[in-house]
Amino acid sequence: MSDAVLAIGTRKGLFLARSTDGGPFEIEPIQFSTVAVPSVAIDTRGTTPRLLAGIEYGHFGPSVLYSDDLGKTWGEAEQPPIAFPDKTGATLTRVWQLAPSPSEPGVVWAGTEPGALFRSEDRGVTYQLVEGLWEHPHRQHWQPGGGGLCLHTIVNHPADPQIMAVAVSTGGFYRTTDGGLTWEAANHNIRAPFMPEGQQYPEFGQCVHKVSMDPAQPDRLYLQHHFGVYRSDDFGGSWHDIGSALPSDFGFPIVTHPSRPGTVYVLPLTADMDRTPVGHRYRIYRSDDAGETWQPFGAGLPEGPVHATVLRDAMTASEAGLFFGTRDGEVHWSRDDGETWSLVGRHLPDVLTVRAAVL
């Protein structure tokens, strides 16, 4: 394996870690100390990798920074890179997601709070509101979840830039086939048990925690819901439950293998009102058959008891391996698909997001 970089966004700063030829990741000194970093991206599409960081300056508000020298120096647009037009009456609270497009050079997407989608055509320096989603008639009925009214997931179809999807808490899952001009709710067969009898499969209002696409089969999506784990084989046209064999179908992250079809990972938590790892031990559950069966793995992880949650963007899979970070500041790495684990670092601030890439 070539050199790899791991970006760890925390409640109080950004940490970058490097690995050479598959060796251990070495964490570099903190950047943006005391500044929250809820979103990061590693854009490897060009000849020079670009790091993107969605940060929160406290009283000065959120912004997006970029680096073309792997974090040695950072740039920022002269004007706020993401801002709602005056006519919306909205104010940016957080940048939840940064997603380079796999099929459009220079395009980066951003998901925000309040729930909205922005598009950049200069590799993430400046962004414009996607008005088709903002003006969707459902939007005015979306309600904030526990983390706020956030667009936290962006799924780009690698073969067709016109096809993409987003997840909004608690709006649900929405998809477009015309590059964002129009959108449709795509929550068919997702159950919301908190709703009254006869209304438990609403068109929208779903509390989706995370969605991940199978890169080897891009029409296949996996969804971690507030109350279930689901799979779609038609890019969200319909969903079916794949969580019944798990010890709990509550959790936040769900990620897929970067190249092996049908391989998906979840980290179950005990329940909605007990957001701790099942049995107070970190266990990654892996399916190699698209969710039909699951196996737990945890060799090398703390024996317990552990109590910290893993957030929706704090687990990631890439050619560099499988990673997750915890709310008590630990980051763990597996280079064998979750079967064994090693510690990257501990005593970090609350881990909000992790991303990794081979350079």
Rounded to an integer, what distance in angstroms lies between the CA atom of residue 57 and that of residue 77? 15
What pLDDT digit, counting tens, does each position of 317-338 carry? 999 999 999 999 999 999 999 9
- How many domains is the chain built from? 1
SS3 category, 36: strand
pLDDT at 302: 96
Residue at 244: amino acid letter: S
pLDDT at 1: 53
- Domain containing 16 equals 4-358
Which residues of the chain, if any, have pLDDT below 50?
none
User: Quick check: 176 and 164 in contact, CB under 8 A?
Assistant: yes
pLDDT at 145: 85
Rounded to an integer, what distance in angstroms lies between the CA atom of residue 77 and that of residue 231? 39
CATH number for the domain including 38?
Answer: 2.130.10.10
pTM for the model: 0.97
pLDDT at 39: 98
**Distance of CA 270 to CAs 148, 293, 304, 305, 323, Å?**
22, 19, 14, 13, 21
Calculate the average pLDDT of the chain.
96
